[in-house]
Structure 1
Amino acid sequence: MSAFKSLFKQTFIYGLATVLPRMLTFLLTPLYTEVMAVGVYGKVSIIFSWFAIFNVILAYGMETAFFRFFNKEDDQDKVVGTSTLSIIFTSLTIFILAFVFKNQIAEVTDIEVKHINFVLWILLLDALVIIPFAWLRAKAKPMKYAIIKITNVAINIGLNLFFFLLLTDLAKQNDVFASIYKPDFEISYVLIANLFASGITLVLMLSFYGKIKYVFNTILWKQMLRYALPVLVAGLAYTTIETFNRILLDSSLSTAENPEDEVGMFSACYKLALFMTLFATAFRLGIEPYFFSHAKSKNPQKNYARILEYFVVFGSVILLTVVVFSDFIKVIIIRDEAFWEAMWIVPIILIASFCLGIYHNLSVWYKITDRTKFGAYISVVGAIITLVLNIWLIPIISYRGSAIATLAAYGSMVLLSYYFGRKYYPIPYNLKKIGLYLTISIAFSLIYFYQFRANYFVGITMLIVFLSLVYISEKKQIKELLKR
């Protein structure tokens, strides 16, 4: 049980590092939906979709390779130095090339050149802290990790609040602020805030660059690259599933009069699934180092099976809770009613995010057996499903089609990972218990939202029934965890 105690402790702290900052960014959604037109918010969402894609390219799976070889190699300094130098070289090379061809990039992405300049600098700064953050996780320093992550978002949010709430009034009273203020400059203000936050984060991580040994081992680098490249493919495929729908919604596929408005509504309502995404992300940050460090322990499969059970229990509760109170939450998070039209997607995206979290838990088999190519294969299948369904459904049902495509993609990835995992690294998952929780929580969520929405008597009754079932089934484990 001590292993689980350590796992939950780290997951809690990493959760703070991920959940608290992103909960703080919830402040930005009400802010953006209040001060920006739906179409402008759509443009911001499209830019951040491209951010996600290029962040994956600049990392190219080296973070996951770092964890694998850091726990595998006797000379850990060699792993740190090789991965760090690799990221520095590739990031600077891509940065220079991108600046040379920024006009062409702007044309392809439909992002203005003035915004491309900000984007490139932010991408570079973020790439340079990939290995330092991975090193903190590998060294089990979650508190420092959390403080720096939270500082990053606090700066970002503080600057957003300054630009959108204070600057207009200050510009009327002071010439210095008047020189900073520009009307219709919302997108640039968002990017400037991100740029400053990324710059400060790199400054806070500079001590890492002063204490490591700059050794580059070509043989090790090739081994890490072979391990990392399938992770890159998987990451690109995942990002396609998660963000490319915004880009497609803004393309010629859309039959809407103002496609950017569709993107804005979809992106705003997508935010309500953030509770599930935060939980799944925090859980993944905690379990990924645990998977590798306990791979050689006695009967690790039994522990891996129990971890998935815990995830499904908590995830099911989050799913049903958010669905039941979604109309209450939307008033707080999405201020302008013009965005509410896309609320239909909320249960679908929540279930999709839940499936993604389950997939991350199931993916342990190919990570610790060095079969990362299967992660790439599975993710590519999910990406293909996403693209096909988006291309088919967007002209018919717009953003509803994108939501359905996301759920279909992640659901298929869960099934494929489980199928191949049974073959290459069998784990004794309790399918009856997991299936029961999933079936009831998903059924209650869909029935409530699409048949009894806003009827809180029905919703809260369903939630109480489900929580009672969980307590009865997990009473012993819950008491033991709370005691410890």
Structure 2
Amino acid sequence: MSALKSLFKQTFIYGLATVLPRMLSFLLVRLHTDESVLESVADYGDVSLIYSYFVLFNVILAYGMETAFFRFYNKEKEKSKVVGTSSISLIITSFGFFVLALMFKNQIASFIDIKEEYIHLVIWILLLDALVIIPFAWLRVNLKPLKYAIIKILNVAINLGLNLFLLLWLKDLASESSVFAAIYKPNFEVNYIFIANLVASAVTLLIMFPFYFKIKFTFSKVLWKKMMRYAFPILIAGVAFSINETFDRILLNSLLPEDVAKTEIGMYSACYKLALFMTLFATAYRLGIEPFFFSHAKTENPQKNYARILEYFVIFGSAILLTVVVFADLLKVIFIGNEAYWKAMWIVPVILLANFCLGIYHNLSVWYKITDKTKFGAYISIFGALLTLFLNFWLIPIISYKGSAIATLIAYSIMMLLSYYFGRKYYPIPYNLKKIGLYLILSIGLSGLSFYQFRSNYIMGISMLIVFLGIVYISERNQIKQLLKR
């Protein structure tokens, strides 16, 4: 129980580091979808498309080294060598990418159908973000979640503040002052969004830069090869995940008629953001459990704790799923004020459930990380990515963004089931399937009824939520009392 208490404490702080910045960034959705900021839904589609490529390249530039760092930092006696080797590796590859990307930015812009002026800003942001991967991992592995949280929150606060200044206030100031008039450029809104991101990333690196003066720059070729062998399957899995997570917007742009593609992407991306509540929870939980998995791998009977962790995840995730679905129409008014985007609300329960399945998958993935069988993670992710691509190519021409949402749910569900299947063989964990299944069936069934049969009927929706929480309390009351006492 003390181990679980430690996990919940870390998860809470990492949750602050994840939830607060994401909530601040969520305000950007309201800002960017405002008619007075970006003129059309298609403009927001452009921004969403660029950030889809961001996700893919962030994964490539990290190439699994963060997870390898956690693994070998807990495994190797000479921890300074792990820190130095991983840092040097990422510095070299990051600057190598930076130089090559600048040399071929014209070709890149043409190939991915993005303006060259955006590409230039994106390249700088990717470099700065890559250089803080190991410093942030070092904070996590040394159990300094509070510092981690403060820096993450500051990053997004700067980004949000600059977005407000550049997109809302600068235009008015330019009409009153020649100084601001020299800065302001009309029809430059998309550039301003990425300039704000660039400044926030630069400040974050500046804060983390003392890390590079504290460490020993010792590079072990032998250790690096071990880390790369461990990290490579994680890179493949990461690329596959990025395909599952964001490639739908890229495919929507390619497969839909040119005159509607960006508008469809804009609506889809805005409503997709309402699944953020599930994503925030799953991400915070993952940030807390990843170091926990490795640090408790050698304790007595760790499988028992791993099983309990998944139960708690399913309980909280089920409650979040049902709550967001019940209040979805209120949330859309708060976070997406422009009715032009509401047409895509159909996808919200589907994407919420998809991200719930992804969170369960991350919990189940402990078996291949602990046993160093990360290749299975790559295999499962590759299969999921191929399935996502196939379903998107098939469904988008028929039902547009609804096909993308369905494809995401099917892919994540099957990945979850595959991870459980192989985990039983290589690292059996005594999951309580009856209890987990009960919570999943209840929350999914009640969510479907609430959204598709009793939508905006808050009496019915809240009643369903109370019933679910009551069943959870009856089933878990002894565990709840123990946790509260501690």
Give the TM-score, by structure 1 length: 0.99
Corresponding residue for residue 23 of structure 1:
23
Counterpart AA for 1:429: Y
Q: What are the residue-to-residue correspondences of 1:338-417 with 2, within 5 Å? A: 338-417=340-419
Please show how residues 1-400 of structure 1 align to structure 2 within 5 Å: 1-34=1-34, 35-36=37-38, 37-251=40-254, 253-255=255-257, 257-400=259-402
For residue 342 of structure 1, what is the amino acid of its counterpart?
A
1-side partners of 2:65 and 2:190: how far apart?
Answer: 31
Give distance in 2, aligned partners of 1:77 and 1:305: 33
Q: Distance in 2 between matches of 1:235 and 1:483?
A: 40
Partner Cα separation in structure 2 for residue 329 and residue 163 of structure 1: 26
Structure 1: distance between partners of 2:235 and 2:193: 28
Structure 2 residue runs without a partner (length 5+)? none
Q: Contact (CA 8 Å) 1:78, 1:217: kept in 2 or not?
A: yes
Q: Distance in 2 between matches of 1:328 and 1:480?
A: 35
User: 8 Å contact 1:256–1:262 — kept in the other structure?
Assistant: no
SS at match of 1:26: helix
Residue 186 of structure 1 deviates from its aligned partner by 1.2
- What does residue 440 of structure 1 align with? 442
* Higher deviation after alignment, 413-422 or 254-263: 254-263
Q: How far does the alpha carbon of each residue in 1:336-385 deviate from its partner, in whole angstroms, 9 at most, with x for none?
A: 00000000000000000000000000000000100000000000011011
Q: Give the Cα separation in 1 of the matches to 2:142 and 2:259.
A: 52
Amino acid at match of 1:5: K
Q: CA deviation at 1:482?
A: 1.9
- Seq. identity, %: 71
Q: Is the 8 A contact 1:312 1:438 kept in 2?
A: yes
Q: Show the counterpart of 1:418.
A: 420
SS for the counterpart of 1:27 is: helix
Instruction: Tell me the amino acid that sits aligned with residue 322 of structure 1.
Output: V
Deviation at 1:413, TM superposition (A): 0.4
- Which digits, 9 at most, give the CA deviation of each residue in 1:20-42, with x for residues without a partner? 10011121111111022200000
Asked whether the 8 Å contact 1:305–1:430 carries over to 2, the reply is: yes
Q: Secondary structure in 1 aligned to 2:259?
A: coil
Instruction: Name the residue aligned to 1:463.
Output: 465
One-letter amino acid of the structure 2 residue matched with residue 77 of structure 1? S
Paired residue type of 2:357: C
Deviation per CA, 1:214-257, whole angstroms, max 9, x where unpaired?
00000000000000000000000000000000000111x11473
Distance 1:145 1:456 in 2: 39
Q: Distance in 2 between matches of 1:179 and 1:331?
A: 36
CA deviation after TM superposition for structure 1 residue 477, in Å: 1.0
Separation of aligned partners in 2, 1:483 and 1:326: 35
- Greater CA deviation, 28-37 or 227-236? 28-37
Structure 1 runs, 4 residues or longer, greater than 3 Å off: none
Which stretch has the larger CA shift, 288-297 or 471-480? 471-480
Q: Distance in 2 between matches of 1:133 and 1:464?
A: 40
Letter in 2 for 1:53: L
How many Å separate the matches in 2 of 1:230 and 1:422?
Answer: 20
Question: How many Å separate the matches in 2 of 1:226 and 1:162?
Answer: 46
Cα RMSD, aligned residues only: 0.7
TM-aligned CA deviation for residue 109 of structure 1: 1.1
Residue segments in structure 1 that go unaligned for 5+ positions in a row:
none
Deviation at residue 483 of structure 1 after TM alignment: 2.1
Larger mean Cα displacement after TM superposition, 391-400 or 31-40: 31-40
- Aligned residue pairs, count: 483
TM-score (norm 2): 0.99
